[in-house]
Amino acid sequence: MAAPRRRSLWSCCGHGWSWATRCCRVPGLCSSRTWGPLGAWPLSQQKRAAETHFGFETVPEEEKGGKVYQVFENVAKKYDVMNDMMSLGIHRVWKDLLIWKMHPLPGTQLLDVAGGTGDIAFRFLNYVQAQHQRKQKRQLRAQQNLSWEEIAKKYQKEEDPLGGSLVMVCDINREMLKVGKQKAMDQGYRAGLSWVLGDAEELPFDDDKFDVYTIAFGIRNVTHIDQALQEAHRVLKPGGQFLCLEFSQVDNPFVSRFYDLYSFQVIPVLGEVIAGDWKSYQYLVESIRKFPNQEEFKEMIEDAGFQKVTYESLTKGIVAIHSGFKF
Ligand SMILES: COc1cc(O)cc(C/C=C(\C)CC/C=C(\C)CC/C=C(\C)CC/C=C(\C)CC/C=C(\C)CC/C=C(\C)CC/C=C(\C)CC/C=C(\C)CC/C=C(\C)CCC=C(C)C)c1O
Ligand SMILES: C[S@@+](CC[C@H](N)C(=O)[O-])C[C@H]1O[C@@H](n2cnc3c(N)ncnc32)[C@H](O)[C@@H]1O
């Protein structure tokens, strides 16, 4: 069932993200004439203008999307190098673990929301390709009368090295997708990969379409997390899996002290030195603190209709992988 559309005071023009050429959430960029000033709405509705957080700042809900957009527009070009520097490469291990947990089989249709510069998508493609090759080799070895040369020939003839797997990277930010597409070209990823501009809160896909939905370090930035979770549930096929990799709550007071020190004293400095952007990295560490802990987020996933919801904390709870199923 499709989730109902929300209506905000500064309502989106309704273009939808699948074809909009401008970001409706960035103030001043939306070309639609359907945007209206607050005064155009009845007073009773104006009073209900909800507030949310943007890091430690309190902002009207309608402003958060634009601010988040600007953060990722600013950091897009330095995003990958920043992640390696800030995490000393640990983010790569966390992302690998997400794919191992998914254990996708050839033929899997994956939707990677807030996919940014494609790290999850590329790992998925590597994994399914390796799985498919292993499967082929096993099948061919079973035909014992074939020589190794014949096996090699058959193996080379195979047209789809992914065994029908597909990954759709969906992100709200044009600049992040641009960097991702360039990376894909440079690294030779072409087959089985598509890029779509879209909002996690209003996904431009039909119901029951994907086997797996992933969101890595993305959901923390979404204004209405409950809405994004409902959308995840809607687009998954029955039996489909939801997987989320996100910062979480550190479970050890000693680690927590150093973690805070490193987060607040080192990360923004690195942001300034490497990306020339202190504020975006200040937002990163603040947004981590505002995100629900492992148990609270588990409940939110259950509230969206997912079943068998579990989580695994990694690196003392610095991040967690949550999993759930649509039945
Ligand atoms: C704008 O929004 C964003 C921008 C982005 O570029 C990325 C994201 C989303 C994030 C990712 C895709 C993941 C990659 C990014 C990060 C991991 C950065 C966020 C980092 C933190 C929240 C801090 C925690 C970092 C780590 C666990 C990575 C490893 C770092 C260290 C071990 C620190 C080493 C640092 C030094 C030696 C420098 C000196 C340190 C100090 C003066 C402070 C004292 C610190 C320590 C003694 C060590 C720190 C200890 C810990 C952090 C605990 C680790 C515990 C265990 C391993 C058990 C995005 O949204
Ligand atoms: C920290 S990056 C994560 C990128 C990638 N998943 C990774 O693990 O490296 C967060 C991404 O979330 C995207 N994002 C933020 N709000 C979004 C929304 N409402 N819908 C879709 N993507 C969103 C940003 O544009 C950004 O690319």
Give the pLDDT confidence of 110-131 residue by residue, as tens digits. 999 999 999 999 999 999 999 8
Going from the Cα of 301 to the center of ligand 1, the distance in angstroms, rounded, reads 26
- Residue 293, pLDDT > 80, answer yes
CA distance 297 to 303: 10
Average pLDDT over residues 304-316: 98
Share of the chain above pLDDT 90, in %: 74
What is the rounded average pLDDT for all residues in the chain?
86
CA 38 and chain centroid, separation: 32
Atom of ligand 1 nearest to the CA of 316: 58
Q: Is the CB of 83 under 6 A from ligand 1?
A: yes
Confidence of residue 2 (pLDDT cuts 50, 70, 90): very low
Average pLDDT over residues 25-45: 38
Considering only 11-20, 93-102, 141-150, which range has the smallest mean pLDDT?
11-20
The more confident residue out of 236 and 146 is 236
- Residue 32, pLDDT > 60, answer no
Average pLDDT over residues 235-252: 97
Ligand nearest to the CA of 26: 2
- Tell me what pLDDT residue 157 has: 64
Considering only 42-46, 57-61, 136-140, 300-304, which range has the smallest mean pLDDT?
42-46
Helices (H), the chain: 43-47, 61-75, 79-87, 90-102, 119-142, 148-157, 174-187, 225-235, 253-261, 267-275, 278-290, 294-303
Decide the pairing of beta strands 236-247 and 319-325. Answer: antiparallel
CA distance 230 to 208: 12
- Partners of 244 in the β-ladder: 215, 322
Decide the pairing of beta strands 210-216 and 236-247. Answer: parallel
Confidence of residue 28 (pLDDT cuts 50, 70, 90): very low
Answer for the pair 22, 66: CB distance below 8 angstroms, yes or no: no
Look up the ipTM and state it: 0.86
Average pLDDT over residues 69-80: 98
Instruction: Cite the annotated binding site for S-adenosyl-L-methionine by residue number.
Output: 117, 171, 199-200
Going from the Cα of 48 to the center of ligand 2, the distance in angstroms, rounded, reads 28
CA distance 292 to 287: 10
- Tell me what pLDDT residue 145 has: 74
